Amino acid sequence: MPGNNYKQIVFLSGKGGTGKTTMAFAVSSLIKDKVLIDCDVDAANLYLLVDPVSQREYQFSGGKKAFIQKEKCNECGLCETLCRFGAIKNFTVDFLNCEGCGFCARACPSEAILFEKNISGSYFDCRLDDKTGFYYARLFPGEGNSGKLVSEIKKKAKESINGSVKYVFIDGPPGIGCPVNASIAETDFVVLVTEPSLSGVHDLKRLIQLLQRFNLKFGVIINKHDLNPGLTSEIELYLQNEKLPLLGKYPFDKRIAESIKKKIPVTEINKEYKIVSENVLNRLENYLAESKKQKLMEQ
Amino acid sequence: MIISIASGKGGTGKTTVAASMASVLNCSVYIDCDVEEPNGHLMLKPEFKNEETVYKLLPKIDYNKCNLCGRCVDVCEFNALINIKFEIVIIEELCHSCGACSYFCPGKAITEVEKEIGVVRSGMFNGNSFFFDGLLRVGEVSAVPLIKKVKEKTSTKNITIIDSPPGTSCSMVETVKDSDYCVLVTESSPFGLSDLKLAVGVLKTINIPFGVIINKYSENFPDTEKYLKEENIRLLLKIPFDREIAENYSKGILPVELSEKLKEEFLSVLNEIRVEVESTGINAG
């Protein structure tokens, strides 16, 4: 496998709506040999910007669900007693609550409970008009196991990577839970997109704690920095004190919504965005080169 | 009455809307179910009074009784148990606490022990309103057990406002599923609209009445209103895209604190919701 010549970059934010997708699109649009993966499987948005020309759909099964066969059930009620998720009432399984543990099916004395694979979403293997690989997914409403779907879509994307690909850009999900953990697996660098709001900073710090547990390299983008200059300086000071790299600062711009509508990178609407994005990319490349050097020295 | 506030997309203004509703009401209950990244406390600034630790159950194997038969491994649907010949390894993050392993263990070698997954914090704001939120421990991957715990704070007497995590998966459904009404918050952008449609899909599936608030509203993006009209979905409120609102939000100031007009609008939205809930009689549960 020529494989690991590429670098995997993940965009995360903790808080939603800070600009992960916009930034991932802006920065990645400056590079040619890349693969794009949208790992926000709950609410994918990147496909709205990149316009895939072809796509192949794959089904995803997050797990199994229980189903009680009325004709075999003798209504002993054991399943209802055993189920920890309150998913069984009146000898019927509520699919939304069923965790897929199979406890009931295994315990049922009259073998009345079927326990079968459940299709909980699909993912798409797409090509853009310049042949760039693009992957995204759609989890069906209310389904769980989004972490598994993230892992599956990443695996699919990597199967198609050839030697010329330099970067895999991943648009990550919000939060700090299971899909985020699956997104940062095997990653080389995490770009944290934050904003100078109390909640943006609060969520950034929780996410940093998570990344530090995994010993991951990361840098920070402050989006909408001019909305609260005081808090922006506080974030900068915090990053300085913690010796964490600041990758760039983007101004607040109402025209972003328009750029999304027109499917063009914000870098083409706002000149400052282009300059900042180029700087972000340069810094990113420097950090990656540095960490490669460090690894070689350690060996 | 329980009103949940949700959105597919993050950052559309769920917390701003939920906190605004909770703060314009007298004697309300606010519950933040976004346990991965709770922010409601930053806006409502409650005086925290209490913190309860929340646990999940994990299997513990007594090797005096275990003969490594591997039955527990077979019945674990989540691959949380691995038999490495001389020991059964437990991968805590994968365990869903279903209890199957201990139930089926022929040697009764498995008991269940508690592991901390987060806390439920409680306090008061605006003098007589109640505040609750859940804070998931960093590194813990499964939010649903903690969401269930925070939701137990729902009041039957007072109006309860529940702030949902973003997305449309299990965490969001767990949060909104027992609500009398759900308010979906979207924003004037293609991202906002795309994710709104997904969230509408969830609410139709689980059969919860809902309406929409368009936040960061801009006339340049009429698509959202067109969609709502076509689908016959009630538009509850439009909050303009305003730099001042964004600036104040960044400082933890709610827009209703500065605009009497918006405060009145929120009160009338709440009233509209109450009328709809009472007329459909869903309130019975």
Is residue A219 within a helix (H) or strand (E), and if so which, with residue range? strand A218-222
pLDDT over 70, % of chain B? 98
Mean pLDDT rounded to a whole number for chain A:
93
B84-115 pLDDT, tens digit per residue, is: 888 999 989 889 999 999 999 999 999 999 99
CA distance to partner chain A, nearest, from residue B89 (Å): 19
Q: What is the pTM of this model?
A: 0.92
Q: Which residue has the higher pLDDT, A263 or B197?
A: B197
* Residue B282 reports pLDDT greater than 70: no
* Residue A245's pLDDT band (cuts 50, 70, 90): very high
* Residue B283 reports pLDDT greater than 50: no
Count of other CB atoms within 10 angstroms of residue B156: 8
* Residue B250's pLDDT band (cuts 50, 70, 90): very high
* Residue B281's pLDDT band (cuts 50, 70, 90): low
A24-81 pLDDT, tens digit per residue, is: 999 999 999 999 999 999 999 999 999 899 899 999 998 899 999 999 999 999 999 9
Q: Measured between alpha carbons, how far is B57 from B55 in angstroms, rounded to an integer?
A: 7
* Residue B12 reports pLDDT greater than 60: yes
Mean pLDDT across the stretch B71-80? 94
Chain A contact set for B201 (CB, 8 A):
141
pLDDT over 90, % of chain B? 89
A55-71 pLDDT, tens digit per residue, is: 999 999 988 999 999 99
What confidence score (pLDDT) does residue A35 get? 97
A165-175 pLDDT, tens digit per residue, is: 999 999 999 99
Which SS3 state, helix, strand or coil, does residue B25 take?
Answer: coil
A204-223 pLDDT, tens digit per residue, is: 999 999 999 999 999 999 99
* Residue A141's pLDDT band (cuts 50, 70, 90): confident
Q: Fold match between B2-54+123-284 and B63-108?
A: no
Tell me the CB-side half-sphere exposure of residue A232, using CA atoms within 13 A. 18
Is residue B3 within a helix (H) or strand (E), and if so which, with residue range? strand B2-6
Is the Cβ pair A99, B96 closer than 8 Å? yes
Query: What domains sit in chain A, N to C, each tagged with a CATH number?
Result: 7-51+128-298 (3.40.50.300), 62-119 (3.30.70.20)
pLDDT over 90, % of chain A? 80
Is the Cβ pair A42, B168 closer than 8 Å? yes
User: How many Å separate Cα B148 from the centre of its chain?
Assistant: 9
* Residue A3 reports pLDDT greater than 70: no
Q: What is the DSSP string of A70-136?
A: TTT-----HHHHH-TT--EETTEE-TTT-----HHHHH-TT--EEEEEEEEEEEEEEE-TT--EEEE
- Are B61 and B88 spatial neighbours (Cβ–Cβ below 8 Å)? yes
Is the Cβ pair B37, A203 closer than 8 Å? yes
Chain B contact set for A210 (CB, 8 A):
138-139
Pairing of strands B81-83, A133-139: unpaired
* Domain boundaries, given as residue ranges, for chain B: 2-54+123-284, 63-108
Phi, psi of A105 (to 5 degrees): -65, -40
* Residue B284 reports pLDDT greater than 60: no
What confidence score (pLDDT) does residue A51 get? 86
Mean pLDDT across the stretch B221-231? 97
B252-265 pLDDT, tens digit per residue, is: 999 999 999 999 99
Contact of A14 with chain B, judged by CB distance below 8 Å, is answered with: yes
Chain A contact set for B251 (CB, 8 A):
197-198, 228, 231
Mean pLDDT across the stretch B76-80? 93
Mean pLDDT across the stretch B243-251? 92
Chain A (231-290) residues lying within 8 Å, Cβ to Cβ, of chain B: 231, 252, 254, 256-258, 260-261
What confidence score (pLDDT) does residue B86 get? 86
Mean pLDDT across the stretch A129-156? 91
CA distance to partner chain B, nearest, from residue A17 (Å): 4
CATH code matching the domain that covers B63-108, chosen among 3.20.20.70, 3.30.1700.10, 3.30.70.20, 1.20.1600.10:
3.30.70.20
What confidence score (pLDDT) does residue B85 get? 81
* Residue A2's pLDDT band (cuts 50, 70, 90): very low
- ipTM confidence: 0.89
Mean pLDDT across the stretch B10-28? 96
Q: Identify the residue among B169, B203, B248 best suited for mutation to test binding to A, counting A beta carbons within 10 A and taking the highest.
A: B169
Please say whether the structural domain B2-54+123-284 has been given the CATH code 3.40.50.2020.
Answer: no
Is the Cβ pair A16, B201 closer than 8 Å? no
Range with the lowest mean pLDDT among B13-17, B39-43, B155-159, B231-235? B155-159
Chain A contact set for B166 (CB, 8 A):
16, 42-43, 174-175
User: How many Å separate Cα A250 from the centre of its chain?
Assistant: 22
Write down how long chain A is.
299
Chain A (45-104) residues lying within 8 Å, Cβ to Cβ, of chain B: 45, 48, 63-64, 82, 84-85, 96, 99-103
